């Protein structure tokens, strides 16, 4: 039984393994991402049931732009279809989920940007889970952009707290737990600054197979850890 008071306030997930899942199933890669998008909704809904207030999902990295154009086009076609799916939007609203998108969004097409804006506007009054989707996101790029903006403002010195105001995650609380599915054990340029003292959890389950039971295992592991923060 999970102890509600010990659960993370801010949970982040690297949703890895979509392509391998599709290959194992004898399907094309985009089918893995379609199944993975359904899992994302299930996990977001479960987080609302657990009253976890912040969930951040790694959807598309800066490095993903290096993939073949036909693959990235398919991914953003899927992204667009999800954003414009009335049933999905109603699901989000009925779950009292507020959507937030972070990353170098200037690289996205105007069609995608318009739908992102609409999704954020349609859910901005919801006060349950804040679901942040990292798209065209890279932590190194986030940090260097923050430094560039600080230089532009001619600020001679900034504290850690001031520096964080220049990050994409400036409106989010500290990261408590970062989960990566799919068996790999690296952060892959995701929330590098924010993960400095976050608990890390890696599992072999491919993202399309990841379930609420799998999340429970990660959360149970998290609640048992002693967090000293260097002290």
177 contacts 153 by C-beta, under 8 angstroms: no
What values do phi and psi take at 82, rounded to 5? Answer: -70, -45
Known catalytic membership, residue 126: no
Residue 132 CA to residue 24 CA, distance in Å, equals 29
Exactly one of 23, 31, 64, 126 is catalytic; name it: 64
- Listed as own residue / partner, the contacts of 145-152 with beta carbons closer than 8 Å and 24 or more positions apart are 145/104
Residue 124 CA to residue 106 CA, distance in Å, equals 21
Residue 10 CA to residue 31 CA, distance in Å, equals 29
Residue 154 has a CB neighbour count (10 Å cut-off) of: 6
Residue 168 CA to residue 141 CA, distance in Å, equals 10
Cβ density class 4-42: b for 16+ within 10 Å, e for less: eeebbebbbbbbbbbbbbbeeeeeebbbbbbbbbebbbe
Known catalytic membership, residue 73: no
| Summary count for the chain: helices (H), strands (E) | 8, 6
Interior CA angle at 178 toward 164 and 30, to 5°? Answer: 110
Q: Which residues are catalytically annotated?
A: 16, 64
């Amino acid at each position: 039984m999970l102890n509600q008071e010990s659960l993370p306030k801010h949970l982040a997930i690297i949703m890895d393994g979509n392509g391998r899942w599709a290959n194992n199933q004898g399907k094309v890669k985009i089918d893995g991402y379609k199944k993975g998008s359904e899992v994302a909704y299930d996990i977001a809904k479960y987080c609302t049931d657990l009253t976890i207030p912040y969930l951040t999902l790694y959807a598309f990295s800066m490095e993903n732009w290096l993939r073949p154009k036909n693959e990235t086009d398919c991914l953003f076609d899927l992204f667009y279809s999800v954003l414009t799916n009335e049933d999905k939007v109603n699901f989000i609203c009925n779950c009292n989920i507020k959507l937030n998108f972070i990353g170098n969004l200037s690289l996205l097409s105007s069609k995608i940007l318009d739908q992102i804006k609409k999704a954020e506007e349609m859910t901005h009054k919801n006060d349950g889970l804040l679901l942040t989707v990292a798209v065209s996101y890279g932590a190194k790029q986030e940090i260097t952009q923050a430094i560039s903006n600080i230089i532009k403002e001619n600020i001679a010195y900034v504290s850690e707290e001031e520096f964080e105001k220049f990050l994409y995650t400036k409106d989010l609380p500290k990261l408590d737990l970062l989960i990566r599915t799919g068996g790999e054990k690296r952060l892959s340029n995701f929330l590098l600054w924010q993960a400095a003292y976050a608990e890390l959890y890696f599992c072999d389950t491919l993202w399309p197979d990841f379930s609420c039971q799998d999340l429970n295992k990660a959360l149970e592991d998290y609640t048992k850890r002693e967090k000293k923060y260097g002290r």
